[in-house]
Structure 1
Amino acid sequence: MSKILVTGGSGFIGGELVNSLVKKGHEVISFDILHNNKSSDFQQFNGSILNPYDLDKAVKNCDMIVHLAAMVGVELTEKKRLECLEINIQGTKFILDAAVKQKVKKVFFSSSSEVYGDQEIIPIKEDAQLKPKSNYGITKMVGEEYLKAYSNFYGFDYNIFRFFNLYGGNQRPEFVIPKFKKAIDNNEKLKIYGDGKQIRSYCNILDAIDGINRIIGNGKKNTTYNIGNNNDPISVIDLANKMVNLSKKNIKIEKISFEKSDRSAKREIYKRQPDISKIIQDLKYSPKINIDKGLKQLFSN
């Protein structure tokens, strides 16, 4: 088994991944600014990815790094552009510097479907031209390129995860599914930007963790993988109606024009669905939780 550092280890993806890696017998270090819950199952290291001293101490003697720590969410990263650039680009560079200094064998990088921007060919394959429209997507694209450059120069191996619209428990409320759930819990209107016809394919966090584990275990060297669920494309308006129906509440849905919001229609992605044939073929990945089952689990909790 390996000694693995997970940055962002107390976050939405990181928390689930750390627990999963521990169950598989790995020695895990969770690195984050703050850990809310203490655990005796793995080491917790409070630190910042912008502090090279913290990183050097945490990375020491690790075989692998799974770099999940980032400023996330398109809306937040547009409001805090400079901070996003610093955390997502400079922070990634510091991670790579520590990996080189401590002779880490492999680095896994958490990227995003935001790097693809608008694509004419749907579903989207990993070799599609990258043309991000958001500040967040740009930082993830730059992070990928830094990773490849460091790997090429210093010789460590890597894999890149490009996540497509993950959801599940403990996700931050600015993302669409937890945002709708919070509004429903508070008996508030669900707010939809534009006509609500934007298409997404949502992937449950447990399926995403399965994909990550397969890549960590047997992913092809220096390869990028889409991680998502391509079985249930759904419009935002249909998602909202589905969640209202599950709640059995009389909740209104309000459409808000882009002109009357702080969102830009020019940055909107109108259709996003992953091609996951590569991870299926290479690693026999098969998402198990469809959107209906996943939403029912959210409401039952």
Structure 2
Amino acid sequence: MKLTNSRLLVTGGAGLVGSELAEQLTVDNDVVVVDDLSNGIRDSVPDDAEFREGDLTDPGTVEEVITADLDAVIHCAAADKYVDSDDPRGQFETNGEMTYDILERMDEVGVRNVAFTSSSTVYGEAPRPTPEDFAPLEPISIYGAAKLSEESLLSVYAHSHDFTVWNFRFANVVGQRFGAGVVPDFVEKLEANPETLTILGDGRQEKSYMHVTECAEAIQHVIENAPERTSMHTYNLGTRTTTSVDRIADIVSDEMGLDPDYEHTGGDRGWTGDVPKMRLSIEKLAALGWEPSLSSDESVRRAAADLVDALEDR
């Protein structure tokens, strides 16, 4: 599918990844963004996109925003965050129901192209680097279980309803937005207390980090270049490198001009369901002719620098 002169719906388009995608896609396309702003930020939505505030767990909203004139839906919306959800059952049920309602409505009006933002958490604690065909998929968090269940629904619609699905399993995505992961968490903690930084776990957790601008570029490249002979396209998105939580703390501290003491909460994971080590294979992505230019450390540093600059505007 060519992303030019298309009408596209971005769900969750006020969030970190969704807003960046919307920003890049508005250059050559007609973009509609829907978001209930429970996690998203209205100012993140690009001016050139049509914005509709709405809750996608409401069938009325789904019916309103998914119309026959769409060429594709890019589904980034998700209920709650993946860390320490206060309502894990609600998170699982809401995300699954929302995705099912979106797919049913798309089928009803004849829109059959959908991209989905999944997660590396579907793999659980897998060997590294983890390829897309690794099995069995055994997530250890509710967030990962929800994403895997949604992938299953997408597979059904790809194979039994003539949909084309682009399914993206993300590494950790970082960028200029507060409230979205470890980098802004450290920035906010150090702004409040420049002397001491509390770090969940032992600080040795080591994962791949991808900058949101490159994540959005990769999504578009796959949509435009994945082979047409298949209907369910699953791709890992990440970097070939990893970085540790302590190293992230070092980078953030350096960008803020601070030298705090670190206090670790202990244990080899930051929360229940945290995967201590993660690195995805991106060979399948590279075979399509695209690789990230930034390493994990460089992605974290760019995000930290942008967040520090943004502190002045808060």
Please, what TM-score do these two structures have when normalized by structure 2?
Answer: 0.87
Say which of 220, 223, 241 aligns to 2:233: 223
Work out whether residues 68 and 109 of structure 1, in 8 Å CA contact, stay in contact via their aligned partners in 2: yes
Q: Cα distance 1:205–1:36, how it changes in 2: closer, same or farther (>3 A)?
A: same
Q: Deviating runs (4+, > 4 A) in structure 1?
A: none
Q: In 2, distance between residues paired with 1:48 and 1:122? A: 37
Pair 1:299–1:3, CA change in 2 (3 A): same
Matches for 1:3-14 after TM superposition, within 5 Å: 3-14=7-18
CA shift in 2, pair 1:269/1:262, >3 Å: closer
Is 2:200 aligned against 1:193? yes
Which ranges in structure 2 are unaligned for 5 or more consecutive residues? 310-314
Q: Does the CA-based 8 Å contact 1:111-1:161 persist in structure 2?
A: yes
1:108-257 alignment, distance < 5 Å? 108-119=115-126, 121-129=127-135, 130-173=137-180, 175-188=181-194, 189-220=196-227, 221-231=231-241, 233-257=242-266
* Equivalent pair of 1:56/1:102 in contact (CA under 8 Å): no
Q: 1:164 to 1:295 in 2, by over 3 A?
A: closer
Q: Deviations over 1:132-161 (max 9, x none)?
A: 000000000000001111222211111101
| 1:28 equivalent in structure 2 | 31
Closer/same/farther in 2, CA of residues 27 and 80 from structure 1, 3 Å limit: same
Query: Aligned residue for 1:66?
Result: 74
Q: Secondary structure at the match of 1:74?
A: coil
Deviation at 1:182, TM superposition (A): 1.3
Note if contact 1:151-1:158 (Cα within 8 Å) is conserved in structure 2. yes
Figure out how many residues of one structure are paired with residues of the other and give that number: 292
Shift of 1:230: 1.4
Question: Deviation at 1:17?
Answer: 0.5
Deviates more, 1:5-14 or 1:148-157: 148-157
TM-score normalised per structure 1: 0.90
Alpha-carbon offset, residue 76 of structure 1: 3.8
Q: Check conservation: 1:118, 1:269, Cα contact below 8 A.
A: yes
Long gaps (5+) in structure 1: none
- CA-based RMSD: 2.1
Looking at structure 2, the residues matched to 247 and 290 of structure 1 have their Cα atoms a distance apart, in angstroms, of 20
1:101 match: 108
Counterparts in 2 of 1:294 and 1:172: CA distance versus 1, 3 Å: same
CA distance in 2, matches of 1:171, 1:39: 17
Give how far 1:167 is off.
Answer: 0.5
Instruction: Write out per-residue CA displacement over residues 233-274 of structure 1, whole angstroms, 9 at most, x where no aligned residue.
Output: 122122222322332213121011259x9933xx33121001
User: CA separation of 1:254/1:9 partners in 2, compared to 1, >3 Å: closer, same or farther?
Assistant: same
Alignment match, 1:275: 281
C-alpha separation in 1, matches of 2:80 and 2:15: 11
For the pair 1:42 / 2:45, whether they are aligned, the reply is no
Q: Supply the AA of the counterpart residue of 2:277.
A: K
Q: Does the CA contact (< 8 Å) of 1:5 and 1:29 recur in 2? A: yes
Query: Aligned with 1:75: secondary structure?
Result: coil
